[in-house]
Amino acid sequence: MSELIRLSKDNDVAIITIDNPPVNALSPGVPQGIEKFIADIQQDPSVKAVVLIGGGKTFIAGADINMFVQMTSGKGGRINLLPILLKIEDCTKPVVVAIHGNALGGGLEVAQACHYRVASPDAKVGQPEVNLGIIPGAGGTQRLPRLAGVAKAIELCTTGKPIKASEAVELGIIDKLIEGDLLAGAVVFARQVAGKPTRKTRERSDRLGTPEQNAPIFAAAREAARKKYRGMMCQLAAIDSIEAGTKLGFEKGCEEEARIFDTCLYSDQSKALIHAFFAEREAAKIPDIPKDTPVIPVNSVAIVGAGTMGSAIAMVFANAGIPVVLKDADQAALDRGMTTIEKNYATSVKRGRFTPEYVNERMKLIKTTLNYGEFAGADMVIEAVFETMPLKKEVFAELDRVCKRGAILATNTSTLNIDEIAASTSRPEAVIGTHFFSPANVMRLLELVRGRKSSKEVIATCMQLAKKIGKIAVLAGNCRGFVGNRMFLPYIREAQFLVEEGAAPEAVDSALTEWGMAMGPLAVGDLGGLDVAYRVRKEYRHLEKPGARQPYVEDRLVEMGRLGQKTGSGWYKYDAERRATPDPEVAELVRKWNAEKNIPQRKISAEEIVDREVYMLINEGARILEEGYALRGGDIDTIYLNGYGFPGYRGGPMWYADTVGLKKVYDRVCEFHRQHGMLWEPAPLLKELAEAGKKFADYQREAGRAAD
Ligand code: ZOZ
Ligand code: NAD
């Protein structure tokens, strides 16, 4: 018998416990174990009812995603859960599933096939398959509408968002919440339903609706999915599968579900999203920092600078229940920071994300101050003052004087040298970069920047803390722009060259958004302020390769006062609601300036725009990887997927390059090199892997500079 499943008895109730840590995934042996025990129980006259429960922290979090990788790479056979679930449903003794932690994906599908579902109040249930580019594949698109109705089933299967147990009760997915001991409560519940006729979800139709009632629901769902999940196929596939069940009945619906599931699973989109899932988790593993590295307890945080970033970072910690002291140079700046925080929270309340009580509690955790006295007890300090080295050094020297030994001293700098900042303290081992992305209370990425002397404890603590504050941490090495911005700068530069060669700004942006980017590069510039990149360009001009081509249009726009959204015009013009429209004045200026400079104009295809933009990212990413500033291609992908609006279904720039084929990418980069000069010099690693027929995914340095 499988060791992953245990059978025990509480008098006349059999208890099946799944014991497959950490998340009780449906790995080989788990479904088969359940099947075997159900068959045994069926034959055992002393058993009147069954409880199915997860051991450890959770019920089943879904199929074992590794098995999907095995299947699509031809190394593993097809998983077929459906017949096993039918056997559970056909058991003549009531099967009560007891849910704590998560019942996700295949886990919720198992639960739907049981006759009753009880749960701890803090449990969550969901069909998150779309996050992996697939649809529920074990009857979820068939049974869920029978329990919760078509509209809710569509919502759960297309958003992929889990819901709380209390909501699941309201929807009819869960029958009862059990306070206190879940197993004991489930056993009592099982005795109450023992002897009653079992209820089979697949035989229900009371919540399915008629084709006439459902037609507008499906039409609206498809329209919404096309807009919200632009470019993705699995949300539409999930809707198709649910619709098939409502029209064809359970059995045929399941056949259709299996067909659609396979189409999704073998798609490039699903492979990319599954890569993203594992890459995100892999990023938390640093080769030279063992899992058992001691961590520093972080129970209080102090922040210097209550501007855009500092105030949003304060919210991040308050939301995680960690008290924060926010310091600025003057009262007016502090007041502005607190007003921003209050406004952000008010918006969240308005949108139903937080309750007013929740916000009150969070606000109590944020204090303000004008002096460093309150920093003495802080376990961690995050500096978010203006981006200038002399100021950062001054602040860190002061922090060194006032903070207790053992405190983590972090900087939110986006471009400055961490080692130089650390050198202004007597404890460089305590210094690390914590590069949050704007808006910091929303964006999930946290780029941690390892200085030459950052201690392992400090890095391990920040990695762990990131999870606690709801961020995805990726460790980067200390080079200019770290990983994300180092790649982004040539990407936005190339967008400017495209305009200077004849592409309209809106053509550049729309080629990339059509391809899947959340925003076009020029619109991103307008959003953050064109003056930001302008200052970076000026400050670092001396580091550019001599003789390299320089863009000029954006600099001129800035010098004209066109700074982007904040001034009502930049690459685009903006109305009072900050809606962008193409600006004929920009087109005219570019035409005039280009004529003066004799830059030849030509028609540039969307394909060329995408290639030049995305291949520029890839080429710089290859350099970063080779130089060791990122540990793995997957780390770069995680950064781009979570911080730069790269489409999840393309897996990140390095994964995308692998799917295109590195030889093809390399050849195109060489072509651009010939056409556009030295800024397109192919990265040696790209050349090497392309010539060896390898992939970025095959490449992992033993320890890169991110692990110096
Ligand atoms: O891990 C979080 C999570 O969200 N996991 C994924 C949940 C999910 O997507 N479930 C649906 C899977 S697809 C599915 O179930 C399809 C379906 O309909 C079945 C039909 C099959 C029919 C086939 C027909 C051909 C979770 C919220 C659960 C926990 O979060 P934590 O932050 O506590 O922990 P993590 O994320 O750090 O994870 C801990 C370790 O567990 C690994 N893991 C998690 N879920 C897994 C999984 N490994 C395999 N399969 C899963 N479903 C995760 O990689 C991590 O491993 P380590 O090595 O990094 O520690
Ligand atoms: P900001 O101009 O909005 O805020 C900076 C704040 O620091 C101001 O409130 C200012 O009064 C305060 N300050 C200046 N000197 C101070 C001192 N000596 N003591 C205390 N407070 C002082 O800037 P921001 O956009 O929040 O950026 C802060 C840092 O975060 C910079 O290093 C920036 O590069 C980085 N960053 C910014 C973004 C972004 O999108 N804005 C993104 C990532 C990282």
How far, in Å, is the centroid of ligand 1 from the Cα of 81?
Answer: 17
Confirm or reject: Cβ of 679 under 6 Å from ligand 1. no
Q: Extract the residue ranges of the chain whose pLDDT is less than 50.
A: 1, 702-705, 707-708
Task: Take atom 4 of ligand 1 and give the residue whose Cα is closest.
Answer: 61
CA 66/CA 421 separation, integer angstroms: 42
- pLDDT, residue 2, reads 52
Confirm or reject: Cβ of 478 under 6 Å from ligand 1. no
- Percent helix, strand, coil in the chain, to 5, is 55, 10, 35
How far, in Å, is the centroid of ligand 1 from the Cα of 355?
Answer: 30
Q: Which of 173, 165, 27, 190 is nearest to 100 (CA)?
A: 165
Q: Model's pTM, two decimal places?
A: 0.95
Q: How far apart are the first and last CA of the chain?
A: 47
DSSP of 71-82, one letter per residue? HHTTSSPPP--H
302: which strand partners? 325, 381
Ligand nearest to the CA of 340: 2
Instruction: Report which ligand 1 atom has the smallest distance to the Cα of 132.
Output: 9
CA 542/CA 550 separation, integer angstroms: 12
How far, in Å, is the centroid of ligand 1 from the Cα of 464?
Answer: 19
Confirm or reject: Cβ of 680 under 6 Å from ligand 1. no
Contacts of 577 (CB under 8 A, 6+ apart): none
Q: Which of 599, 586, 589 is nearest to 550 (CA)?
A: 599
Confirm or reject: Cβ of 201 under 6 Å from ligand 1. no
E-strand stretches of 370-466: 380-383, 408-411, 431-436, 445-450
- The dihedral built from the CA positions of residue 131, 134, 140 and 145, taken in this order, carries a sign that is positive
Instruction: Report which ligand 1 atom has the smallest distance to the Cα of 160.
Output: 9
Length of the chain: 708
Q: pLDDT tens, 229-238?
A: 999 999 999 9
Instruction: Report which ligand 1 atom has the smallest distance to the Cα of 107.
Output: 15
Q: Which of 588, 575, 530, 585 is nearest to 555 (CA)?
A: 530
**Mutational pocket test of ligand 2: of 414, 449, 483, 530, the residue with most ligand atoms within 8 Å of the beta carbon:** 414
Q: How many CB atoms lie within 10 A of CB 600?
A: 7
As to burial, measured by CB atoms within 10 angstroms (0-12 exposed, 13-18 middle, 19+ buried), residue 366 is: buried
Grouping H, G, I as helix, E, B as strand and the rest as coil, residue 125 is strand
Confirm or reject: Cβ of 64 under 6 Å from ligand 1. yes
Which residue is listed with tokens 């649910």? 242
Q: Which pair of tokens denotes residue 38?
A: 């159900």
E-strand stretches of 355-464: 366-369, 380-383, 408-411, 431-436, 445-450
Listed by start position, the domains of the chain span 5-266, 301-478, 485-698
Strand order in the sheet with 49-54: 5-10, 13-18, 49-54, 95-99, 116-119, 176-177
Q: How many CB atoms lie within 10 A of CB 551?
A: 17
Within 13 Å of residue 321, how many CA atoms lie on the same side as its CB?
1
Q: pLDDT tens, 241-291?
A: 999 999 999 999 999 999 999 999 999 999 999 999 999 999 999 999 999
Contacts of 368 (CB under 8 A, 6+ apart): 306, 325, 326, 327, 328, 334, 337, 338
- pLDDT, residue 76, reads 86
Task: Take atom 19 of ligand 1 and give the residue whose Cα is closest.
Answer: 106
Which CATH superfamily includes the segment(s) 5-266? Answer: 2-enoyl-CoA Hydratase; Chain A, domain 1 (3.90.226.10)
How far, in Å, is the centroid of ligand 1 from the Cα of 358?
Answer: 29
Ligand nearest to the CA of 482: 2
How far, in Å, is the centroid of ligand 1 from the Cα of 27?
Answer: 11
The DSSP code for 473 is E
Confirm or reject: Cβ of 281 under 6 Å from ligand 1. yes
**Mutational pocket test of ligand 2: of 304, 311, 328, the residue with most ligand atoms within 8 Å of the beta carbon:** 328
Confirm or reject: Cβ of 246 under 6 Å from ligand 1. no
Domain 485-698 -> CATH class? mainly alpha
Which residue is listed with tokens 């089943």? 60
**Mutational pocket test of ligand 1: of 65, 79, 263, the residue with most ligand atoms within 8 Å of the beta carbon:** 65
In the chain, the percentage of residues whose pLDDT exceeds 90 is 93
Q: Which pair of tokens denotes residue 128?
A: 């998150």
How far, in Å, is the centroid of ligand 2 from the Cα of 148?
Answer: 48
How far, in Å, is the centroid of ligand 2 from the Cα of 284?
Answer: 27
Active site residues: 109, 129
CA 452/CA 418 separation, integer angstroms: 8
Ligand nearest to the CA of 273: 1
How far, in Å, is the centroid of ligand 1 from the Cα of 277?
Answer: 9
User: What residue ranges line ligand 2, CB within 6 angstroms?
Assistant: 304-310, 327-329, 333, 384-387, 391, 395, 412-414, 436-438, 528
E-strand stretches of 162-300: 163-164, 176-177
How far, in Å, is the centroid of ligand 1 from the Cα of 105?
Answer: 9
Strand order in the sheet with 431-436: 366-369, 324-327, 301-304, 380-383, 408-411, 431-436, 445-450, 472-477
- State how beta strands 445-450 and 324-327 pair: unpaired
Domain 301-478 -> CATH class? alpha beta
Angle, CA of 434, 435 and 439, to the nearest 5°: 125
CA 421/CA 410 separation, integer angstroms: 10
Confirm or reject: Cβ of 62 under 6 Å from ligand 1. yes
Give Cα separations from 251 to 202, 248, 470 (angstroms): 9, 8, 41
Q: How many CB atoms lie within 10 A of CB 74?
A: 7
CA 343/CA 17 separation, integer angstroms: 47
DSSP H or E stretch at residue 647 = none
Confirm or reject: Cβ of 66 under 6 Å from ligand 1. yes
